[in-house]
Amino acid sequence: MVLDRCVELGARTARPGEFTERAYLNGKLDLPQAEAVADVIDASSRQAARSAVRSLEGAFSKELVALRQALINLRILVEASLDFPEDDAGVISTNDLNERISHLRLELDGIIRRAGQGKLLREGARVVLLGEANVGKSSLLNALAGDELAIVTDVPGTTRDLVRAVVLVNGIPFTIIDTAGLRPTADVVERMGIERAVAAAETADLVLQVVDGPMAPNAVDPEFVVPVTLPRRRIVVRNKIDLRGEPASTVKLEGIPVLSVSARTGEGLDLLRTALAESVGADSEALEGVYLSRSRHVEALRAASANLRQAGSFGRDGLELVAEELRYAEVRLGDILGRRTSDDLLGDIFRSFCIGK
């Protein structure tokens, strides 16, 4: 009633993200810091929250600002060499130019690596369980999730649709997706489920290829009953070792991790969680110093890296092109910081806030 009366007297409710938007527009926060406010609210793990706070405190922005200033300084030298070619004081040597560009690329590569890990903390990885019927995919999903999410029976073809669960490993949210077992079938609904399984596997960040029985070195790619392209980025999971009296183990065959586990007893699941973390570079040491970032940050950083790589290919004789590539790289970093951001993008960013922070 109080709020309704305030509105009647001329006040209005805050828009989603309006307080943070005002802080950004008034120069109190830059754009990555403003985005980090929402990331702190939405953080799904302690590690994600710590990384989001690191971004909010300006760790990500400080690195970008320093790199952008180094780019500007190099641009000044290159432009001076173009404007005053006869003046020795304004000329940058080939060696100096190459060294500076190499140093910038090295610094940028470090930021890209940490930003990529931060993106993983924020968005997680999509993992698909793929395999023939009755190899224990649903049991494995339930064991990893710690809950009976998928129906488990001895009847082949129980799973028809995709069943999802989010599992945290080293602070990384892994969306584990159970799929229909791959087998010949005349059932129209089951066949649709198999088609969805194949489509999900081909677009996943990682595939857990679940098998029941021995895995020989020449059998890493079993011939499934439907056409499926198995990605190189996968882990083979030999399930049901409890029935065969085998110990949990992990080996590599043809560069692919092969883990022996039991979804029923839980034996070997710690090995699987470790393999999941390692597959995306999410060990605890790698996550130290990471700041939370978004897809747009990583895309812009990679584009800037491509500009620097191109700038380094022209050399001293192509200073005009070097200057232009450096300008493009500077623009990319400016986009992340909000120095050249369109109103439409700002609207999308701040509308994503769930409250008026």
- Looking at residue 66, what is its pLDDT? 93
State the fold for domain 2-122+289-351. Four Helix Bundle (Hemerythrin (Met), subunit A) (1.20.120)
Q: Kindly report the number of other CB atoms within 10 A of residue 267's CB atom.
A: 16
d(CA 211, CA 258): 10
- Looking at residue 108, what is its pLDDT? 93
Query: Which residues make beta-bridge pairs with 125?
Result: 174
Right CATH number for 127-279 from 3.40.50.2000, 3.40.50.300, 3.90.700.10, 3.40.30.10? 3.40.50.300
In contact, 314 and 322? CB cutoff 8 Å: yes
Per-residue pLDDT of the chain (357 residues; tens, 9 = 90+): 999 999 999 999 888 888 889 998 998 999 999 988 888 888 877 888 888 898 888 889 999 999 999 998 888 888 878 776 665 545 678 788 889 999 999 999 989 888 888 888 888 888 999 888 888 888 898 888 887 776 666 666 566 678 888 888 877 889 999 888 888 778 888 888 888 888 888 888 889 989 887 654 444 445 555 556 666 688 889 998 888 888 988 888 878 888 999 998 999 999 999 998 888 776 555 565 577 788 889 999 999 999 999 998 887 778 889 989 999 999 999 999 887 655 665 666 677 665 555
Pairing between β-strand 249-253 and β-strand 206-212 as defined by DSSP bridges: unpaired
In contact, 266 and 143? CB cutoff 8 Å: yes
d(CA 337, CA 345): 12
In this structure, the chain runs to a length of 357
- Looking at residue 231, what is its pLDDT? 62
DSSP label at 218? Answer: G
Residue 229 corresponds to which amino acid?
A: T
DSSP label at 180? Answer: P
Question: Domains of the chain: which residue ranges?
Answer: 2-122+289-351, 127-279
